[in-house]
Amino acid sequence: MSALPGRTLSRPTTSQPPSGPRTAGPPAAWSPTTWSPRTRRRLAADAALLVVAAAFVLPLAWLLLASLDGEATLRVSVPGSPTLDNFQSVWTDEITFTPMLNSLLLCGGATVLTVACAALAAYPLSRFRSRLVRPYLMTILFSTCLPITAIMVPVYGLFVQVDLVDTMYGTALFLAASQLPFAVWLMKNFMDGVPVILEEAAWTDGASWPQTLTRVILPLMGPGMTVVMIYSFIMMWGNFFVPFMLLLSPDQLPASVTIFTFFGNYGQVAYGQLAAFSILYSTPVILLYVLIARRMGGGFALGGAVKG
């Protein structure tokens, strides 16, 4: 991406209309044409962004076009006669509904568990003072970073030993645990943002801590909870390795794993159907992401939250 010279960088204010006495443009271009180099730089930035966007959009374009193409190949091409045949042929119990339902049960169950545990754990971590809080949080933060992929082989071994392998609830429990450290961390930070004064008022009125938590704090951190919930769900929905390792029987597999059957069982790979199924499988998480991006104001908030 050498198309972005350093020169186009580091002027955070250009995109806004010029206002007041702010200096504009480098000293060399001082005189009357003040906004002209600025425009030039904006055009350069626009062009660079468009180049990157074009490169990024090609694989996505293939997905959309191939799904509408009766004779899709691996190459991006506009279908001669757009058709919904691909969607029609994957729109069956066996190919779409069962795997999607499995995904929903697996990820939905695990998300509920994660959010419930995280909300409970965040309360004492956020509200009570103890020497152990900091080490606990440090351990949590440490485990958010551990590569979960690396422990999947021992998890498989352990699950075989305790007979949890090939069970939905076992897999859901593991998914919940793998997402929990980050959920606790986020939830604790969101809870810190809720003023203690409101809680004290509830206490003076004689509320117990469960009441305070459910009636005062959680409603106040609704947006934060939604973010934690949706983020966990998105991560689990897209997770391929965990169900791939821990679930064996075909009727229990979630969509992230059954997608491979387009290569295995049906002989000739039907790329159009693969694309159609991929779209069906991706749609829920894209919609959910749009939902939290809107809710958190512009989509950049999650990046800010993730950054710690």
Q: Give the binding range for other proteins (CB under 8 A) out of 80-88, 90-98, 139-147, 225-233.
A: 139-147
Compare residues 126 and 252 and give the one whose CB is closer to other proteins. 126
Residue type, 257: V
User: Interaction with other proteins in 213-232: which residues (CB under 8 A)?
Assistant: 213
Cβ neighbours of residue 51 under 8 Å, at least 6 residues apart?
3
How many residues in the chain? 308
Binding flag, residue 138, other proteins (CB under 8 A): yes
Binding residue for other proteins (CB under 8 A) from 100, 112, 282, 295? 282
Q: How many CB atoms lie within 10 A of CB 297?
A: 9
Distances (CA, A) of 81 to 56, 77, 252, 279: 26, 11, 36, 19
The rounded distance, in Å, linking the Cα atoms of 38 and 12 is 12
Q: Tell me the three state secondary structure of residue 61.
A: helix
User: Interaction with other proteins in 28-67: which residues (CB under 8 A)?
Assistant: 41-42, 45-46, 48-50, 52-53, 56-60, 62-63, 66
Of the CA atoms within 13 Å of residue 121, those in its CB half-sphere come to 19
The number of angstroms, rounded, from the C-alpha of 182 to the middle of its chain's C-alpha atoms is 12
Q: How many CB atoms lie within 10 A of CB 276?
A: 27
Binding flag, residue 23, other proteins (CB under 8 A): yes
Q: How far is the CB of 174 from other proteins (least distance, A)?
A: 5
Binding residue for other proteins (CB under 8 A) from 91, 108, 289, 295? 289
Compare residues 40 and 92 and give the one whose CB is closer to other proteins. 40
Of the CA atoms within 13 Å of residue 209, those in its CB half-sphere come to 8
Compare residues 15 and 81 and give the one whose CB is closer to other proteins. 15
Compare residues 84 and 198 and give the one whose CB is closer to other proteins. 198
Compare residues 98 and 179 and give the one whose CB is closer to other proteins. 179
* Total of residues contacting other proteins (CB under 8 A): 117
Q: Give the binding range for other proteins (CB under 8 A) out of 84-92, 94-102, 215-223, 293-301.
A: 293-301
The rounded distance, in Å, linking the Cα atoms of 222 and 296 is 11
Alpha-carbon dihedral angle through residues 182, 254, 154, 231, given to the nearest 10 degrees: -10
Compare residues 83 and 189 and give the one whose CB is closer to other proteins. 189
Compare residues 46 and 94 and give the one whose CB is closer to other proteins. 46
Binding residue for other proteins (CB under 8 A) from 97, 169, 240, 266? 240
Binding residue for other proteins (CB under 8 A) from 87, 182, 233, 281? 281
Binding flag, residue 131, other proteins (CB under 8 A): no
What is Dmax (Cα atoms) for the chain?
78
Binding flag, residue 78, other proteins (CB under 8 A): no
Q: How many CB atoms lie within 10 A of CB 222?
A: 11
Q: How far is the CB of 204 from other proteins (least distance, A)?
A: 10
